[in-house]
Amino acid sequence: SDYLLEVKGLKTYFNHFNKQVPAVNGVDFVVRKGETLGIVGESGCGKSVTAMSILKLLAPEAKIVDGQVLFKGKDLVGLNDRQMTRIRGNEISIIFQEPMTSLNPAYTVGYQIGEAIRTHQKLDKKTTRSRAVEMLKLVGIPDPDKRVDEYPHELSGGMRQRVMIAMALSCNPELLIADEPTTALDVTVQAQILELMKSLKEKFHTSIMMITHDLGVVAEMADYVIVMYAGTVVEYSDVKSLYNKPLHPYTEGLMNSLPKIDDPKDKLEAIPGSVPSLYDLPNGCSFWPRCPYAQEICKQEKPELYEVDQRKVRCFLYSGKIERR
Ligand code: SF4
Ligand code: MG
């Protein structure tokens, strides 16, 4: 199959005072080779927990309780720490929003890239250093021979994110998970980093899982998109169809809150209300308290994922049970 990653029925629960809290509640999706999958939703929808479940970097109180994470056909859920260490950084890498928290302030960036490489490959010091310089150059850092000996605080935010990308790609992983990689950066630098990721993807045929709350970033980067809400997938679509016509009312709301290109002063229409607490999810459709189309059935029954033109949407409007009014 051309699936690099296949996530099936993934459930990750948090144990909170002996209550099981469903942070990820039955999530399915695939990432094909060379494809970018966008995962969109507001914070608290389960995007990051999904990523951390794949890499098994969960907090101690979180646990995968069901499902499979098939990477090249092999289920990662049952692997132990030692086996996961071989995969992390080498076959699947992750970059986070704030590089300052993932870079160690006490070591030079060259040393840290070197360590990322040496976890997986036996190289002598000199070769490691020149590989680090090479990686810095690849991600567009000027004067890489000099920068390689600098500490994270000596670099700008954009450059630190480039260093993170260099580290993440240093072992040529097949899958790169990027969790809000540009959220902390200003708009210009954000555009540069996305450009960089796109060109590196072309060059190395890396598949990317791009986690973001920003549908603009997804439009820029992704081939397919899943929209998450309250720990579930509410829409799964190719990117073009999603932008042409969002199906789920939540996706529609996210779309309406994007700044308008032709009239940037036009006030953004944010979705009213907020993401429900996972400790106390509403009965029925999790989105009903915020949904302009909600009807009686929505408050009582949980919608399934319905298939519509090769797309999937978790909403009764597509079940034949209710109509938009
Ligand atoms: Fe809105 Fe009902 Fe669809 Fe939920 S199932 S998104 S409440 S219309
Ligand atoms: Mg997050």
C-beta 317 within 6 A of ligand 1:
yes
Q: Is residue 143 part of a domain?
A: no
Q: Is residue 235 part of a domain?
A: yes
The span from the CA of 200 to the CA of 277, in Å, is 38
Tokens read off for 259: 């700044």
Can you tell me which residue has the tokens 């969960």? 58
According to the model, what pLDDT value does residue 279 have? 85
Q: Is residue 122 part of a domain?
A: no
Work out the angle between the directed axes of helices 157-169 and 109-118 (0-180°, nearest 10): 20
pLDDT, one tens digit per residue, over 187-224 is 888 888 899 999 989 999 999 999 998 898 999 899 99
Instruction: Tally the domains of the chain.
Output: 1
Q: Is residue 31 part of a domain?
A: yes
According to the model, what pLDDT value does residue 265 have? 59
C-beta 316 within 6 A of ligand 1:
yes
| Centroid of ligand 2 to alpha carbon of 71 (angstroms) | 22
Mean pLDDT value across residues 314-322:
95
According to the model, what pLDDT value does residue 266 have? 60
CATH number for the domain harbouring residue 184: 3.40.50.300
Strand pairing category for 207-212 and 92-95 = unpaired
Q: Is residue 106 part of a domain?
A: no
**Average pLDDT value for the chain:** 92
C-beta 211 within 6 A of ligand 1:
no
Question: Between these two residues, 313 and 97, which has the higher pLDDT value?
Answer: 313
| Centroid of ligand 2 to alpha carbon of 45 (angstroms) | 8
Domain range enclosing 181: 3-91+173-318
C-beta 294 within 6 A of ligand 1:
yes
The span from the CA of 176 to the CA of 35, in Å, is 11
Q: Is residue 196 part of a domain?
A: yes
- Ligand 1, closest atom to CA 249? 6
- Kindly state the DSSP code that residue 59 receives in the 8-state scheme: -
Q: Is residue 128 part of a domain?
A: no
C-beta 229 within 6 A of ligand 1:
no
| Centroid of ligand 2 to alpha carbon of 212 (angstroms) | 8
According to the model, what pLDDT value does residue 278 have? 86
Give the ligand whose atoms come closest to the C-alpha of residue 49: 2
Contact 94, 177 (CB under 8 A): yes
Q: Is residue 254 part of a domain?
A: yes
The span from the CA of 102 to the CA of 116, in Å, is 12
C-beta 315 within 6 A of ligand 1:
yes
| Centroid of ligand 2 to alpha carbon of 49 (angstroms) | 8
